Amino acid sequence: MSLLWLRFALGCYFVGLVYAFVALTRTSDLFSRIALHAATMGMVFHFVSLTELFLSGQIVWASVHNSESLLAFLSMAFFLVIYMIYKTTSPGVVVFPVVFFLTFVAALDEQPVLLTQFVSHKGWLIAHIMLIFTGYAALLVSFGASLLYLLQERRLKAKKPTSLIAFLPALEVIDQIGYRSLLLGFPFMTLGLITGSVVAITAPTIGRVDFLDPKILLSVLMWAVYMVMVFTRWNSGWRGRRAAFLATFAFVAALAAWAANYFSAMHRFGTS
Amino acid sequence: MRYQLIGLNHKSAPLEVRERLAIPESRLPDTCRELNAYPGIEEGMVISTCNRVEIIAHTVNGHADLRGFLHNHFHLKPEELDAHLYEFREKDAVRHIFRVASSLDSMVVGEAQILGQVKEAYATARAVGAVRGQLDQLFSRAFAVAKRVRSETAVGSSSVSIASVAVELAKKIFGSLQGKNVFIVGAGKMSELAARHLMAHGCASIFVANRTYDRAIGLAQKFDGQAIKFEDLYTTCDRADIVITSTGAPHAIFRREHGEQFLARRKNRPMFFIDIAVPRDVSPDMARLDGIFAYDIDDLQQAVSSHVADRRKEAERAEAIIASEVERFEARQHTLDVVPTIVSLQDHLETIRQAEIDRVRGRMGQLSPEQEIALEALTRGIINKVMHTPITTLKTAAKESEATTVVDVVRRLFNLQVKPKEEPAGPAVKKDEVGTRQ
């Protein structure tokens, strides 16, 4: 049943995906409203799906599909919070495709892949997943915002007002969205990494944090870039090209860290 | 319809010529009086804005020498002026006035200022008694047409003048202008206007720097702002988010190193430079810095005209509205002339009289010459007596604004039809009507 709701949600997110592509070429108030409603409905289905999964007692926190679904949901939640504050759907251009992709993979079929390692502290594991995913969602939004910032900056510099300028929010608004998500995401990411270490140390089969493990290495790298971003922004107001460069780097590191699940020795989702 | 119009605008004449013809507001009433005293003119008024000077008059015979009036009034030789002038008569003059009032003839099509300016010119002329029946009708209609164009097309949909384009761009950069600071470098009319717009949209405070410190103080006081000594420009400028610069300096006063300084002190928060100086005050290599957005006068013009391009379609629709309004106005003007109505009324009654006499004659057989005369006198007498009051009323009505209503009522009561001739509207007395019965 949970999967069915998730597929409904996927259908709604698809509208958002189409919006993301259309919005790049033209402005339509009506369409952005439709996309917004579709996204909200998608979130309701998504929420029902997650709740049902949780209540059924079959929840497997460390399954790839479930975590992807959760990450997608958190990203959408971020998107809606931004909409409520800034009344703009433009971050959807970046958020919708990612959310759609995550939900799509999660909704493929019901074959939870389990984290192979035995974990002794379930509470810590849940905290780790929730925190790190909120951090990921914030990073995604921040990354999206920095791309939009670049786009808007280009358009303003080119001095050729096109319809796209009307679609994007003001430069400073994009900047704020990016900066606030960045600031918000950082503590989550940090705490997520700490709880992750706790899980690793307390797990009887691991018992330590192996910094040479690709998963950990990449996670720490991502966190470091994240910190550099927050610092340069806070200290000297880096934005525009330089900030976008850092955000892209952090985002790629995050992707790599995620992909590392497939070849990390200790942080593995295995089928066997 | 003996309207005549002569004038020049931004398309027909360069700024230097327009400057020489511009009439200051204070001199406008006198010019109007002078115009009305000029031979051949019944009513006349003057529209003078920075983009146009126009004289519109209702003349005695449709051929007044308006050109001569311009030459006399401005003490200009014909060869200096004539090449830049355009002249319209009758229907074309009406169309031109409708277009001007609807902002279709403006440099920035759809801008809202012109209607206000025309209304002011109209009020001034009215105050000195230069505008009465004919121009009154023309302009009331023109204002109605302008309103119609505005409400039925999107020609005036968004803001356009340079100042409002600057505000729009500032909003694209900063979102809300609430709490933003504005710096005026070089006090000038245009920068003052832009500053006024920005303040109206919520900018917090204003700094003014000028080579002459006194002028800076004067302008700063107007905005409740702060005057800055020109030497302190570079040390204070980073406090502003929006800089409006219009100095007469022969070279750029903001160079790359200044931009870098400002950005470092502002922690890279963006700055918006509105550079309306010619030659430019912001050097191009400073404008390339990330976080510096500099728009020079050409960029602003371009932004303005891109609006215009969007509006071309709407302008076409507006032109269609105006064409139909000109037709309507012309038709109304025709019915407005009371003389043709009186003539056709008389014709109409005469036809009836003749028909009735013929009918009676047929029934009574041969009449003696005396009887003929008596019958003729009787019928004529009745018609003349009956017609006396209506004709007097029509004649008086012609001088009042209610003419249209009265003429319309008479025409409808007697089912009179007008068949206007193709010739231009000359003197009012002409027999172009045929009384018929349907």
- Look at residue B66 and tell me if it is in a domain: yes
pLDDT tens digits along B351-364: 999 998 888 888 88
Specify whether B272 is located in the same domain as B206. yes
- Give residue for tokens 């100095």: B247
Q: Work out the average pLDDT over A123-137.
A: 82
- Nearest Cα neighbor of A271 from A59, A112, A108, A58 is A112
- Look at residue B237 and tell me if it is in a domain: yes
Residue A96 has pLDDT above 80, yes or no: yes
Specify whether B361 is located in the same domain as B427. yes
Active site residue B50: yes
Domain stops at, among B157, B175, B192: B157
Residue B278 is part of which domain span?
A: 162-302
Q: Work out the average pLDDT over B214-227.
A: 90
Task: Convert B263-316 into a string of H (helix), E (strand) and C (coil).
Answer: HHHCCCCCEEEEECCCCCCECHHHHCCCCEEEEEHHHHHHHHHHHHHHHHHHHH
Q: Which of A165, A172, A239 sits opposite B175 (nearest CB)?
A: A172
Instruction: Return the higher-pLDDT residue of B335 and B375.
Output: B375
- Look at residue B321 and tell me if it is in a domain: no
* CB of A210 less than 8 A from some CB of B: no
Query: Please, which pLDDT band fits residue B239 given cuts at 50, 70 and 90?
Result: very high
Q: Which residues of A touch B173 (CB under 8 A)?
A: 156, 170-172
- Look at residue B307 and tell me if it is in a domain: no
Instruction: Return the higher-pLDDT residue of B286 and A5.
Output: B286
Largest Cα–Cα distance in chain B? 117
Say which CATH number the domain at B64 has: 3.30.460.30
Q: Hey, where are the domains in chain A? A: 1-112, 113-272
Q: Work out the average pLDDT over B11-35.
A: 83
- Distance from the B313 Cα atom to the nearest Cα atom in chain A, whole angstroms: 17
Q: Cα(A85)–Cα(A163) distance, rounded to whole angstroms?
A: 24
Q: What is the pLDDT of residue B262?
A: 93
Q: Are strands B3-9 and B86-89 parallel, antiparallel or unpaired?
A: antiparallel
Contact call for A165 and B175, based on CB within 8 A: no
pLDDT tens digits along B153-205: 767 654 446 777 888 889 889 988 988 999 999 887 778 878 888 888 888 89
Specify whether B146 is located in the same domain as B229. no
Q: What is the pLDDT of residue A116?
A: 46
Residue A75 has pLDDT above 60, yes or no: yes
Specify whether B371 is located in the same domain as B245. no
Specify whether B295 is located in the same domain as B194. yes
pLDDT tens digits along B64-123: 888 888 888 888 888 888 888 999 988 899 999 999 998 888 876 777 778 888 998 999
Domain stops at, among B129, B157, B185: B157
* CB of A80 less than 8 A from some CB of B: no
Domain stops at, among B111, B135, B157: B157
Task: Give the residue ranges of DSSP H helices in A159-170.
Answer: 163-167
Specify whether B208 is located in the same domain as B75. no
- Torsion angle of alpha carbons B246, B249, B250, B256, nearest 10°? -80
Residues pairing with B9 in the sheet: B52
pTM (2 decimals)? 0.57
- Total domains present in chain B: 3
Q: What is the pLDDT of residue B259?
A: 93
Q: What is the pLDDT of residue A233?
A: 83
> Considering chain A, what is the average pLDDT of its residues?
78
Specify whether B13 is located in the same domain as B107. yes
Specify whether B146 is located in the same domain as B172. no
Instruction: Return the higher-pLDDT residue of B283 and A198.
Output: B283
Residue B135 has pLDDT above 90, yes or no: no
- Nearest Cα neighbor of A246 from A179, A177, A166, A152 is A179
Contact call for B306 and A161, based on CB within 8 A: yes
Candidates A82, A87, A168, A172, partner chain B, best to mutate (most B CBs within 10 A): A172
pLDDT tens digits along B244-254: 998 888 888 99
pLDDT tens digits along A194-249: 888 887 787 766 666 666 777 788 888 888 888 888 888 888 788 878 888 888 88
